[in-house]
Structure 1
Amino acid sequence: MYIDKAEQPGPAVTAIDLGGTAMKGSVWDRAGRELLRRDRPTPVAAGVLAIVAAVVDLHHELVSALHEQDPELSVQALGLICPGLVDPRGGIALYSANLGWRDLPLRELVSAALAMPVSLDHDVRSAGRAEAEFGAARGVSEALYVQIGTGIAATLIIGGEVLVGSRGRTGEIGHVPARPDGEPCACGQRGCTETYASAAAIARRYRSRTREPAGLGVEIDAGIDAEVVIARAAAGDDAARQVFDEAIQALAIALAGYTMLADPELIVLGGGLSRAGALLIDPLAAELTARLTWREPPRITIGAFAADAGRRGAAQAALRLLSPAWQ
């Protein structure tokens, strides 16, 4: 993955994938090996400043754990990624419906708090780079990487390079309307793809359909997640099947539009929902094929790094802050 200088003591980096539900952190050496990891919930309800403070705290926790494990290594940079709209050049988190911020100078805030260089990028672009360079999209000239978790976003990989766009806003497939008159989305639109097909939406929509008939507002299995809904759908649960079918339809509508415009050879699925494997890929491939009546659909596969692709890409970016040779 990187030039192997692991025999020599040297700098390490932290990588933090800041999501709408959880923050996933890890420490990497300059040989590109993950040394340790720590995860914690994202304190979304506490507000933007609490989220920034939690990022700083997680970094310190990672550094402390590293010092206990290997005192020879010192952390010298952080690779930070987040969802929504991100300006990586300016270090600005422009907008995130799930995290509740606009025009936040996130790189500056975190870098000042840590007194070290910080790279900032979009979580899905970072994951797409990892898959393009080392994973499922390696060697593929045209690919679409789609990450399905709390929200849904994508990145186009063209000639092995990730497409950023004129304003760094490519890949917002989660906010492509699948049903123009559908359910309201946190972004302010209606019927967005992620309102039906994200892992959070699948769980939420299933719970809303399985309330106690007495009308007391008590939900059955309030802690249920999307993977459980998919498993129940496969086992014949009618409510789960209806919710999952609607999710597949919404996602296929968005993917069909992307396919018509960009003609990818391969669609790579990542994020937490990708752990469903064939239970997700098989019906999605069938629905996409049905919507592309006059042309062959792109192949669909699961990413090599699942929910860890973004964290791997963030570490890559942090290492490049230290030296272009460490990559």
Structure 2
Amino acid sequence: MAERSAYPPSHDDSAVVAVDIGGTTIKGAAFAPHGSVLERATVPTFGPAGSPLEATSGLIAQLDAAIRAGGRRLTGIGVASPGLVDSVRGTVTFAANLGWTDMAIVDLLTERFGVPVALEHDGRAAARAERVARIAAGRDGDEFVFVPIGTGISAAIVTGGVVVTGATGGAGEFGHVPVVPDGELCTCGQRGCVEVYASASAIVRRYRAAGGTLPGGAREITAAASTDPVAASVWADAVDALAVGLTGLAAVLDPSALVIGGGLGEAGDRLLVPLREGVARRLAWRSAPRVEQSLVGAGAGLIGASLLLESPLVPGDTVTPPAPVPVPSKEPS
């Protein structure tokens, strides 16, 4: 069920819905002008609806109904999706974790809800929110790489203040950079990818496969790395894979910061300290960029999706973004 949040009266009765599609859960929120949260909800990506598309559509319908019950009207939908995303065509060209190929999600949602729909890669959407927050905090918002870690892993490259899209919409598929020669098979078909070792789902899978018995998800496993030998080994592999991949990004792009976000990014120093050491050790010939935790947090993709729309939510460079939306699920996604 959607959670109702109190919001102040406004002469503008419009609202937009933002959706962040993950491999485990789909998070949604309705925003009033100027960024206040009206409603929020989370549903399983592969739940009773049967498919990620139906789950997404059902979540939007749920939020739309709640908006109308509050006396407002839906005026737009912003969608953040993993995979190869063509924002101009409104299509997810390929998303391994969702089973999508050439999914014309913008057309489908526009036809159902009758309002403008904007689509962006989840990492790039999150980077939009992170950039606004960094500028508001007095940090460099023009040269950084944002790396959200959840069920999957991606990256968003911000250079000259612009989020890089790439020739095919595939810029930032950091999770599918091979870092372990002849390593484990990834869902993308390659071997040894960052994502197959360091994503939240990979940590759980590898821990169970190695005989780990601790209940819970990636957060619980990583928290036990100092006392559980299996968790320690899996966590060390995850950090090492990330450090190798981040070193390559640092060497090629020369960012001022590598910003770690997503659900697993909330691990804080447990992740950031060894990552800093791993990147610095591998960049012996030059100074390493800062490795920082996201200022926006696990809700960055959702907030970024809301910023895709041409509405009062689109901020200027010095405007603080909407407050982070709490993520109710325990498992990073």
What is the distance in 2 between the residues matched to 1:275 and 1:168? Answer: 27
1:12 alignment partner AA: A
Look up the match of 2:40. Answer: 37
Judged with a 3 Å threshold, the aligned counterparts in structure 2 of structure 1 residues 264 and 66 are, in CA distance, closer, same or farther, namely same
Identity percentage of aligned residues? 40
1:154 alignment partner AA: A
Judged with a 3 Å threshold, the aligned counterparts in structure 2 of structure 1 residues 67 and 44 are, in CA distance, closer, same or farther, namely closer
Query: Are positions 1:17 and 2:20 aligned together?
Result: yes
1:112 alignment partner AA: E
SS of residue paired to 1:20: coil
1:251 alignment partner AA: L
What is the distance in 2 between the residues matched to 1:325 and 1:251? Answer: 32
1:131–1:138 CA contact under 8 A, matched in 2: no
RMSD over equivalenced CA pairs, Å: 2.1
Which of 227, 230, 245 pairs up with 2:219? 227
What is the distance in 1 between the residues matched to 2:186 and 2:156? Answer: 21
Look up the match of 2:204. Answer: 203
Look up the match of 1:114. Answer: 113
2:112 alignment partner AA: A
What is the distance in 2 between the residues matched to 1:32 and 1:130? Answer: 12
What is the distance in 1 between the residues matched to 2:307 and 2:283? Answer: 36
Query: Are positions 1:278 and 2:269 aligned together?
Result: yes
Alpha-carbon shift at residue 66 of structure 1 (Å): 2.4
What is the distance in 1 between the residues matched to 2:92 and 2:138? Answer: 27
Query: Are positions 1:93 and 2:92 aligned together?
Result: yes
SS of residue paired to 2:158: strand
2:123–2:147 CA contact under 8 A, matched in 1: yes
What is the distance in 1 between the residues matched to 2:295 and 2:189? Answer: 34
What is the distance in 1 between the residues matched to 2:216 and 2:196? Answer: 17
Judged with a 3 Å threshold, the aligned counterparts in structure 2 of structure 1 residues 103 and 290 are, in CA distance, closer, same or farther, namely same
| Gapped regions of structure 2 (runs ≥ 5) | 1-7, 317-333
SS of residue paired to 1:90: coil
- Higher helix fraction (1 or 2): 1
Query: Are positions 1:311 and 2:298 aligned together?
Result: no
SS of residue paired to 1:132: helix
What is the distance in 1 between the residues matched to 2:138 and 2:218? Answer: 25
Alpha-carbon shift at residue 226 of structure 1 (Å): 1.1
Write out aligned runs for 1:290-305 (5 A): 290-305=281-296
- Which moved further from structure 2: 242-251 or 34-43? 34-43
Look up the match of 1:75. Answer: 74
Judged with a 3 Å threshold, the aligned counterparts in structure 2 of structure 1 residues 179 and 29 are, in CA distance, closer, same or farther, namely same
What is the distance in 2 between the residues matched to 1:199 and 1:259? Answer: 23
1:172-212 residue CA offsets vs partner (Å, 9 max, x unmatched): 1100001120000000000100000111101111111126x
Look up the match of 1:266. Answer: 257
1:143–1:268 CA contact under 8 A, matched in 2: yes
1:46-92 residue CA offsets vs partner (Å, 9 max, x unmatched): 76xx3212211111111222233x31x21111101110110000001
What is the distance in 1 between the residues matched to 2:314 and 2:160? Answer: 22
What is the distance in 1 between the residues matched to 2:222 and 2:314? Answer: 44
Look up the match of 1:152. Answer: 153
Task: State the TM-score, normalized to the length of structure 2.
Answer: 0.87
Judged with a 3 Å threshold, the aligned counterparts in structure 2 of structure 1 residues 269 and 6 are, in CA distance, closer, same or farther, namely farther
SS of residue paired to 2:93: strand
Alpha-carbon shift at residue 10 of structure 1 (Å): 2.8
The number of residues matched between the two structures is 307
1:78–1:117 CA contact under 8 A, matched in 2: yes
Judged with a 3 Å threshold, the aligned counterparts in structure 2 of structure 1 residues 45 and 210 are, in CA distance, closer, same or farther, namely farther
1:252–1:287 CA contact under 8 A, matched in 2: yes
SS of residue paired to 1:152: coil
SS of residue paired to 1:156: strand
Write out aligned runs for 1:179-258 (5 A): 179-210=180-211, 220-221=213-214, 224-234=216-226, 236-258=227-249
- Which moved further from structure 2: 170-179 or 53-62? 53-62
1:143–1:265 CA contact under 8 A, matched in 2: yes
Look up the match of 2:30. Answer: 27
What is the distance in 2 between the residues matched to 1:183 and 1:76? Answer: 45
What is the distance in 1 between the residues matched to 2:291 and 2:13? Answer: 40
Judged with a 3 Å threshold, the aligned counterparts in structure 2 of structure 1 residues 94 and 23 are, in CA distance, closer, same or farther, namely same
